[in-house]
Every structure is written in structure tokens, then in C-alpha cells.
Structure 1
Amino acid sequence: MSDSQKTDVKKYGFIVMHDKRTLYEKEMIGSMSDLVCAQFACTNYVRKIADLATHFYINQDTMQPNISGLILGGHPCIMSTLTGPNMLSPTLLAKVLCCASTINMCKGILADTKYIQQKYLIQKYFDEYMDDTGSCVFGVVKTLKALESGAVKTLMVCEKLDIRKYIVENSVSGEISIRNFDEEEEEENDQEDDDFYFLTDNEESEVQESQFYINSLATKYNSAVEFVTLKSPEGSQFSFTFKGIGGFLRHQLVKENDDKGGM
């Protein structure tokens, strides 16, 4: 991912606080009443949360928040105390987007964020794949072939996936072959019956050109690109199941009889 793409990514913080039942039971301190002791424990609990929020969500060099927004969830009484006087840092308080019972209630507020958008996009992709609607494509070979034909509306690719295009000429027949491999396939395919070996290492083949080209190809054919993060469960599953690349189609592709190399 380029530096410009990284700077466009917005980060959001979440603070989820349980109710008072998570606090330690009262210890007898002189004649302190149960009510006073409980209030004292709750105040310390919230103050500790405020300190941790400062530690995680404020850049210690600039003393400015490192997040675009803050979501508070949990018991209303505790949330009210946290946002009250002398608790949460004023700079963080200004970043509070909402207070909600659960994070799921914040979906409307975060609907335009990459975090929620990507989760829904991948889930939609899985649904289309399971229903076999013909509106999506997956795997290196099939996806790049569809991309080159201009059929891909939205390209989904894992952040660290590098696809190299090989143009190979057979020195005997003069035939030109074009194949695409990711970095993992190049490292693993070292047997004589593998496509990568056949194209690049046998005596009759000569590599004319090799290049990384996903971004330029997507731009050339006017496809939107969604970089899938591996930090989410959905992103990891997408990478494992579909080799880290796939896409939504503008129209269905004509099915070929030979599906060899589809992944």
C-alpha cells in the first residue's frame, strides 16, 4: 500500500465499559459505608479507563489524538462519568462520536468508514460465491484474465499480494505464453511438472519480460481497487480461500470448458 493510501485510512477508537459488577468487592476501611466505598471504586475504575485512553489514543509527541473518532460503549452511568469533568482528556472528548450500549449500534455512524465497508464487501463477496451467481471471480488466473477483458468492476486484492506477469517465448516453436504467478507460487513451484518451472526453467523457454502490474492494470481498465487487510478475520479468510485476489464483475463471463489453473 502506498504512503498516500495509508494517510487516507481513518482510525477509530472503541472504549467498552462494563457495569459495576466487574469491580472488586468492598474492603472494610474504617467506618466507610457501602455506598461511599462503591462510589470510590467506580471513580477509580473510570479514571483508570481515562488514563488508558490517553495512553493509546493520544500521540505523546504531538499530544494530539491519533484517531479520527471515538466510540464509547457500556453502562450509561459509567459512560456519563467518563465524559464528565476531570476525566477524559479534552482533546479526546472532542473526538467522541457517540455513546452506545453496544458497538453494533454504531454501524450507522461508521457506515462510511473503511472498517465497516470492507467487512460488508467481503461478506457480500462470500455470499455471491456461495450462491454461484456468476457475478464474482476469484483466483490469480481467472481474476487477471477477467481484469484484462475489462469485466471487473471492483478488484479485491490483499495488501501484500504481489502478482508478477511472465511473458515467455518457446525458442523452438516461437510460441508466446503469458502467465501470472504470485510470490508464494514462485517460491513453492520448483518441480518439473509445475507451470512455473515449465515456463521459466526448461531449456526451450526464455523469459522475455516479467513485471508487477496489478495497480496499473486496474487503472487501465477502469476498475475500482479495494485493498483487503489481513488484520481482520474476514480479510484472512479471503486471503486463504481465494489466494488473496478476486473481484465483482460488470457482467457474467462465458464459462470455459477447461478450468485448469482457475485458482
Structure 2
Amino acid sequence: MKSSKGLNVPDETEQPSLTDEMPVSDPGNSIEDPFLSRLFNRLDSQIDVEPTVPRRLKINTRIVGRKRIGEGGLGLVYKYYDKRLGRDIALKIARRKVVESDARLQRFLREREVTARLQHPAIPPVFQSGELSDGRPYYLMRLINGQTFAHRIREAYQTQPLEQSPSDLRFGQLLSSFFELCDAVQYAHDQNIIHRDIKPANVMVENDGTTFLVDWGLARDESNHLNTDAEDAFRNDESEALGLSLTRDGQQLGSIDWMSPEQASGDPSQHT
């Protein structure tokens, strides 16, 4: 699928493309990346209490490699390797259009806040967050190496007929992921958070079966009465330009094909 600027945007039911690579640095060279310098200068300034924080950081002092692994309506996701911590990480940055709209910006910030607040094995943890010099917010989170639940379902059914019994290994794996998803949803509800966009494309499954519920941009905090204004503004925004799959009748937010009847009714008191 193409965005308004001609970028290849992965279909929401497909695995994010790993072929669209950004320039990758050589760990053995002292290559400076202005983008990374600004980003990690800011990160270090938040972590370090000393006033002598270096103004510039060389790329090989902390991370190497930059590869775009996904993009959505609100943000772009990149893969990095953090040499200091010895692990891959994911960096999600708001699109430039997001900061031009208060409603879109609030949506991105809500996703960041909710994801960081919820501490559950099936919800990807947030390691750090901040704002770039151009005003775009970002956050660093756990990198998920796997496929969407939608991809796993299609893959299971394409090989041979699937026996809907726990004795079928493929069905058992899908069922296990579903149980992990249910546990994450129950945990979020216990924290007064409603995801409101649960669908197979928003569930990621790693190769070892570890399951994550992602994309919390439409989440509603039932204990926060400030949700309403941002939602009303977002409904009236040009969500099609961002590639969002949202209803536009002024009553519901979410992916209409996967809405519960209660959510589709547009009555907040019925959202569960």
C-alpha cells in the first residue's frame, strides 16, 4: 500500500517488511549520524545527572545499524542494536504530520504513555522516551522478532486442514497465543485501560510463541475524563491521510471489521 508521499506502507494484516533498509553504519568506523547524535545526546542528558554531558556522540560508541521495520498512521519504527546494552531495540518516532495536529500528537503520546504504564509480559516494555529537536516525540521499546497473529493464522491454515483440537500442534500454538492475549487484555482492564482496537494485525507472536498486544494508540483510560476532547478532535481530523482504519461517523473509533457490538454502538458506557 502506498501513502500520500509514495512510501511503501505495509498492509495491516501482513508482517512488516524488513527489506526497506536504511543506511547501516560500519561498527569499526567512527561514523557520525546527526540524527542519532541528537537523539542520544538527549537520552544521556535525561539519564546523566552530571552537567558535562558530551554534546556529540559517535555512532559506534553506543548503537550500530538502522533499519526501518514498519510504519503506521502515526509513526515510523526502526530497528537498532544497542552495543552498550547488548541487545536489539525498536525506536518509534512520530510522523512529521503528527506534530502538526494536536489531536494526532495526543494520540501518539497516549500510546507511549499507556504502553509504558502497563507492565505485563504480553505488552512490550518501553525503555526510554523523549522528543527530537524538531518536536517529534519518540520512544525506545523492546524489539519484537516475529509475525502478526493474522500471519500465523494464515500460515497455519495454508499448509493443511487445521484440526481444531489441542492435539493439533498448530492449533495449540494459536490457542496459547490467544490465551496470552486474553490475559493481557484482562490486566489492562484491571488498570482501567481499554485497548479498543484488538485485531489479529495488532497482536505480534515471536518465533518462540511469546505473544504481545501492540498498537495502543486508541486506548481509553476509563479513570481519565480528559479522553473525550482529544477523541472528538481526532474524529474530525483527516485520518485517511495517515492511513488509519477508523470509522468516521462521529461516534466510534476503531477498526470496524473487528469492533464488538458494544463498541460499535458508540455508547462509552457499553465499552468493555
| Higher strand content, 1 or 2 | 1
Q: TM-score range by the shorter chain?
A: under 0.3
Alignment TM-score, normalising by the size of structure 2: 0.22
Which fold has the larger relative contact order, with Cα–Cα distance below 8 Å and residues 6 or more apart in sequence? 1
Alignment TM-score, normalising by the size of structure 1: 0.22
- Which structure's CA Rg is the greater one? 1
